[in-house]
Amino acid sequence: MRKIVFDIETKNIFQDVGSNDPADLDISVVGLYDYETNTYQSFIEEEFEKMWQILEKADLLITYNGDHFDIPLLNKYFKKAGRGDLSKLRSLDILKELRNAYGRRMKLDQVAEGTFGINKQGNGLEAVNWWRNGEIERVRKYCLEDVKLTKDVYEYAMKNKKLIFKEGPFTKEIKLETKHWEPVSEVKTKSLF
């Protein structure tokens, strides 16, 4: 099974586009980790053709809030390139799994702090400002740090069947049922086309 962990940073925010639809935003950087090649890569729009070749071979897309945000936004570009429909690929949205188990959303930063004792080195709004200031390499680095955190959270959850998040002075453990995250016998079941 070819697993891809990915995250997106944007050039703008919802207030800029007057909409709450992620597909109305514009991508600045996509970062991904490919389990098959054990590599981290980042892509700006001019480099998406190389990224499509990786995503088209994916059996599982792993994200944090990807079903709601990253996949619909990236799918806009994927469809425009005539590549098919990314939403047809199997996806694992860790935030969705946490919300289903605990009953509410929490930020990746809260999970990273609770589970690993570390904090993210910025946020999405800062990444938009860095992009606008021409700090493209800084956005790439930030995006790949989020990809690494998402990968680490995924692997910790698979191994320990739980995640921990920090909320103010409190740390809370969330038990997770992960057996459906990675079906052993399942092969790619959906076509992109």
Q: What is the pLDDT of residues 89-110, one digit of tens each?
A: 999 999 999 999 999 999 999 9
182: confidence class by pLDDT, cuts 50, 70, 90: confident
Number of domains in the chain: 1
Asked if pLDDT for residue 188 goes beyond 50, the answer is: no
In a domain, 186, yes or no: no
Whether 2 and 59 have beta carbons less than 8 Å apart is answered as yes
Region for 118 from its dihedrals, namely left if φ exceeds 0, alpha if ψ lies in -120 to 50, beta otherwise: beta
How many angstroms separate the CA atoms of 44 and 34, rounded?
17
Asked whether residue 190 is assigned to any structural domain, the reply reads no
AA letter at 156: Y
Position 110 in a domain: yes
57: CB partners within 8 A, 6+ apart: 2, 36
Residue 78 belongs to a domain: yes
Is residue 187 assigned to a domain? no
Average pLDDT for the chain = 93
Please report whether residue 112 resides in a domain. Answer: yes
Residue appearing with tokens 């071979």: 57
Question: Is 185 within a domain?
Answer: no
Examine residue 127 and state whether it is found in any structural domain, yes or no.
yes
CATH number assigned to the domain comprising residue 23: 3.30.420.10
Could you list the residue range(s) of the whole structural domain that residue 47 is in? 3-175
